[in-house]
Amino acid sequence: MMHLRKGSYTVCLSLLLATTNTAAEVLSKSTFHSIIRYDSIHRPAHATDGMVVSQRHSASQVGADILRQGGNAVDAAVAVGFALAVVLPRAGNIGGGGFMMIHLAETGKTISIDYRETAPSAAHTDVYLSSNGDVDDSAHRQGHSSVAVPGTVAGLTLALEKYGTMPLATVMAPAIALARDGFVMDYDTASAIATRVEMLQRQAYAKKTFFNPDGSVIPQGQLFKQAELADSLSLIAREGQSAFYQGEIAKKIVAEMQRNNGLITLEDLRAYRPVQREPVRGTYRGYDIVSMPPPSSGGAHVIQMLNVLEQFPISEMGSNSADYLHVLAATMKRAYADRSKHLGDPDFYSVPISWLTSKQYAKQLASQIHPQKVMSSADIAPGEPAPYESVDTTHFSVMDKHGNAVSNTYTLNFSFGSGIVVPGAGFLLNNEMADFSAKAGVAYAFGLLGGTANSIEPGKRPLSAMTPTIVLKEGKPWLVTGSPGGSRIISTVLQQIINVIDHKMNVASATHAARVHHQWFPDEIEFEAAVNPDAQQRLRELGYSLKPSGTMGSLQSIMWHDGAYYGSSDPRRPGAGVAGVNQ
């Protein structure tokens, strides 16, 4: 090694802490050049002509191949969306729904497509309440009445029609091949299935789809083929979304519903429409934050929390320092309290987005945060503890060489959704009805409190936390990111943005950094094991209750800097990968 060492930076600690700029400066010098130099433990993948990051490396490759063939980011994203339905069956889907953010370089516009599932016309709160007025969890979360009208096929095909350049059959071809020819079963998927044998064998078609003919789990290394899924995808590739919403697949869905007291009718499917919505926008320290509006609560609350945090010298406090984590947790508490009250499908409920995301409201919230004192959640607003957290949604990010970007999060809700496979069609249906608040004030599936804004009504979309986000710098996509993680999605995306902007981490270091979460109730900071133990101790002394947590989220991010693409998939869940394009 000849001249690599740029010199070490002796930082007198009083300096480091008093004016942490010294440390921040040191780090900022290394931020983007640490790709090959030795300043950061983690370095992102690098590419010059485009990039795809998703929860499955094989799906990322599918997207990168589409980019290499001349497709744009939307073409690639649609290809990845269908491919993940094959190679990540627990969350990738055609029987679920989600949100897509698209930034178009040519016009500088950012568009959001809401393809969230809708409640069937027969769905009413009563359906999910037992005779004594309690929520019937099994109906709400499992079985055919938990299935909402899927939106994924409509959303992806709409995106392709309006903003893509390639024929549907071209972008779907790789997914069809992966389903028909099979893919090598990975350890992660095999063990995900192995731990859900009971759920996935409840219905004969699910059993047939995900297990060997003798009912045994398909082991790692064995080829896993999904012929019926391949047929369904081929039909969609040939006939477009109408195959799913009106044609053969629609009939198969409805037949399955009718046999099992499900709610979805042919008319529900025919009536389904993805909605283009105006994204929710904010600014943070000179960057533009563009994210998903309701019925996702994610974008509004990420912006709300960034606005609050902008009032504090986060960068000086230092990454995962107790000072920072205190302010962060205090901010999260307030945002999650608002979330339970104000958010729902905007077509049914007037969501006060501009108020929630205003700098003025943020200043008001910031002024309530005392640097040394913890305000209990109950003092912010009354609430109840929450019991449950699911993690199985998935996000992918795409950028092409023209500067177009796609940020997409979609889901079946629970891992493998309802566990119901449409007979003869080979795909899983969601259990998105669980995301409605079945009864106001009763904690719903994701452990959050939902009021009437998120009550069940026919045709309504359940509230979501999915937060596909694009951060713009000087009007151009700078960070494309998003994550699964249920209610933790919002806090995970928030910390990613803080890590790159305030803590000046490269996108890989930001992704690897340990995370925390506070969702108002329960009144505790959940933390990943790697959160600094001395910071933990200081937070306890400050009066926080701390709870060790499994890992949170699975960010799939791309950063664009100085003509190159830097990507990082999250190490927390196996199998994710970055595929770059260099031409």
Question: Is residue 532 near another protein by the rule CB under 8 A?
Answer: yes
Question: Is residue 222 near another protein by the rule CB under 8 A?
Answer: no
The answer to whether 81 touches 424, Cβ cutoff 8 Å, is no
User: Which of 238, 285, 373, 540: binder of another protein (CB under 8 A)?
Assistant: 540
User: Which of 32, 42, 124, 266: binder of another protein (CB under 8 A)?
Assistant: 42
**Alpha-carbon torsion (376, 381, 383, 389), positive or negative:** negative
Work out how close the CB of 147 gets to another protein at its nearest, in angstroms, rounded to a whole number. 26
- Beta-carbon count within 10 A of 192 CB: 20
The radius of gyration of the chain's CA atoms, rounded to the nearest angstrom, is 23
Work out how close the CB of 544 gets to another protein at its nearest, in angstroms, rounded to a whole number. 12
Question: Is residue 538 near another protein by the rule CB under 8 A?
Answer: yes
- Write each residue from 382 to 401 as x if it is in contact with another protein (CB under 8 A), else as -, in one continuous string: ---------x----------
Question: Is residue 460 near another protein by the rule CB under 8 A?
Answer: no
Those residues whose C-beta lies under 8 Å from the C-beta of residue 37, and which sit 6 or more positions away, are: 4, 6, 30
Closer residue to another protein (CB): 234 or 499: 499
3-state secondary structure of 406: strand
Does the N-terminal peptide bond of residue 458 adopt cis geometry, omega within 30 degrees of 0?
no
Question: Is residue 57 near another protein by the rule CB under 8 A?
Answer: no
Which residues, numbered 280-299, are part of the site for another protein (CB under 8 A)? none
In order of 142, 242, 248, 363, 395, the CA distances from 115 in angstroms are 22, 15, 21, 34, 14
Closer residue to another protein (CB): 20 or 357: 20
- Write each residue from 303 to 342 as x if it is in contact with another protein (CB under 8 A), else as -, in one continuous string: --------------xxxxxx--------------------
Q: Please indicate whether residue 393 is annotated as part of the active site.
A: yes
Distance, C-alpha 198 to centroid of its chain = 27
Q: How many residues bind another protein (CB under 8 A)?
A: 68
Which of these, 32, 12, 8, 19, lies nearest to 315 by C-alpha position? Answer: 19
User: Which of 41, 106, 126, 131: binder of another protein (CB under 8 A)?
Assistant: 41
Work out how close the CB of 516 gets to another protein at its nearest, in angstroms, rounded to a whole number. 12
Tell me which amino acid residue 506 is.
Answer: N
The answer to whether 426 touches 234, Cβ cutoff 8 Å, is no
Only one of the segments 26-34, 207-215, 368-376, 419-427 lies at the binding site for another protein (rule: CB under 8 A); that segment is 26-34
Only one of the segments 6-14, 231-239, 263-271, 333-341 lies at the binding site for another protein (rule: CB under 8 A); that segment is 6-14
Question: Is residue 537 near another protein by the rule CB under 8 A?
Answer: yes
Work out how close the CB of 36 gets to another protein at its nearest, in angstroms, rounded to a whole number. 5
Which of these, 569, 574, 394, 416, lies nearest to 486 by C-alpha position? Answer: 394
The residue from 110, 265, 331, 393 that is catalytic is 393
Question: Is residue 9 near another protein by the rule CB under 8 A?
Answer: yes
- 195-232 burial, b at 16+ Cβ within 10 Å, e below that, comes to ebeebbbebebbbebbbeeeeebbeeeeebbbebbbbb
Which of these, 207, 101, 189, 154, lies nearest to 421 by C-alpha position? Answer: 207
Chain residues that interact with another protein, rule: CB under 8 A:
1-6, 8-14, 16-17, 20, 23, 26-27, 30, 35-43, 46, 187-188, 191, 220-221, 317-322, 391, 508-509, 512-514, 528-530, 532-538, 540, 546, 548-551, 571-574, 582
Indicate which residues carry an active-site annotation.
Answer: 393
